Amino acid sequence: MSEHEFDLVVLGGGSGGYAAALRARELGSTVALIEKDKLGGTCLHRGCVPTKALLHTAEIADEVRTAGKYGIEAALQGVDIQGVNSFREGIISSKFKGLQGLVRARGVEVVAGEGRLTSENTVAVGSETYRGKNVVLATGSYSKSLPGLEIGGRIITSEQALALTEIPKRVIVLGGGVIGVEFASVWNSWGADVTIVEGFDHLVPNEELSISKYLERIYKQRGIKQHLGVRFKQATQTATGVTVALEDGTSLDADYLLVAVGRGPVTQGMGFEEVGVTLDRGFVPVDATLQTSVAGVYAVGDIVPGLQLAHRAYQQGIFVAEQIAGLNPIPIADVNVPKVTYCEPQVFSVGLTEAKAKAEFGEDQVSAYEYNLAGNAKSSILGTGGFVKLVRRVDGPIVGVHGIGGRLGELVGEAQLIVNWEAYPEDVAQLIHAHPTQTETIGEAALYLAGKPLHAI
């Protein structure tokens, strides 16, 4: 066994891990980045990137299907799943090669193998030991299931769904959160019969209630069936299909059951607890600087309680590298991390919902306004409905920006600047939003809250 000395050892090469490694190298540290699979982790290979590639093909299918109303003569002859998969894999391959080149050019030493934390400053990979002045845990997450619901055959998670070489004729989606509604959107656009089962009363239950209700209405119009507020009981499968029983007595049949009930932290059997790192239901609690219960050991990304988003992991990885370097970086609270759900219509949000704002500041200390996309020329051109909602403290800053509509996820950039910089509606109202663009919706809502509405009543 031989030892290798570094300033920083990072266990996990996903979004948070490689972000920490790259920023640490920029700041002059030597870095070992340990990854048992491929750089980029779940996001690049099994999550964000491939699913969004599929959603783009779904958008194209819908555009072709409705081309006639725009005066374009076109007909959707079908979806070539092999061609779709080739497109998806091409995107992943290109980004993977680019990431490999970037990490190599920055001078990060990538160690291929399964790492195990063996002390507060060492990680073992096989017979080799990597010692760092600090260690970052970034081991990512896995697709969860429910007790008694075994994954296999016709019962699949998002990983197996991405690898399908056929388009299901009928599919049941267990879970109405981000993963569930995105896959439901894709399969529906490809022509499948889709049913969503969600134990909560609404789809995307963490979003504004009005957004959830609007999405449910649009999904119903698209033909996506929904069983909301009812719990899953059991599933049985054959070689050709699956039957799902719900607690209200409903029985559903389909070709596949997609289990989309969230993701769990990958922390078991990796030496964390033996070294003294506290775990809570498998997650790694951290302090305000993202340090674990063991001094010098930090954690980032999906294993840290809270939002499981690649861009949150990027930010945390950068934060830790700067914290170790003594730069005193500013943390971003989870509530102010931008979120986008890329179904059709898209959903985005930053900051507090109206209900949470009222709970925090008081019923009479919060005002809000929804600007309907019907008043936005660009949205009418695109053929989408929906709305943008601003939530503000009375005589205070905007504390939440939310929206739903076709292609509306691109507004999340301006929205997160508004919320994180604590802008007042009066600040945003005096800015110019190019016409015709969907960004005007934020400007219009701000004008209304500032007391000088233009295209709003």
Mean pLDDT over 76-96 rounds to 97
The whole-model pTM stands at 0.96
Q: Is 455 a catalytic residue?
A: no
Please state, in angstroms and rounded to a whole number, the distance separating the CA atoms of residues 246 and 227. 9
Mean pLDDT over 368-377 rounds to 97
Mean pLDDT over 74-96 rounds to 97
How confident is the model over 381-411, as pLDDT tens digits?
A: 999 999 999 999 999 999 999 999 999 999 9
Catalytic residue, from 56, 227, 435, 455: name it: 435
Band of pLDDT at residue 40, cut at 50, 70 and 90: very high
pLDDT score for 42: 95
Please state, in angstroms and rounded to a whole number, the distance separating the CA atoms of residues 58 and 79. 9
Please state, in angstroms and rounded to a whole number, the distance separating the CA atoms of residues 144 and 263. 5
Kindly state the percentage of the chain with pLDDT values over 90.
99
How is residue 224 written in tokens?
Answer: 């996506």
Asked if pLDDT for residue 1 goes beyond 80, the answer is no
Mean pLDDT over 197-204 rounds to 98
Mean pLDDT over 347-352 rounds to 98
How is residue 38 written in tokens?
Answer: 């491929």
Mean pLDDT over 207-229 rounds to 98
Mean pLDDT over 267-286 rounds to 97
pLDDT score for 456: 87
Burial code (b: 16+ CB inside 10 Å, e: under 16) for 322-353 equals bbbbeeebeebeebbbbbbbbbbbbbbbbbbb
How confident is the model over 147-161, as pLDDT tens digits?
A: 999 999 999 999 999
Using a 10 angstrom Cβ sphere, with 0-12 exposed, 13-18 middle and 19 or more buried, the burial of residue 375 is middle
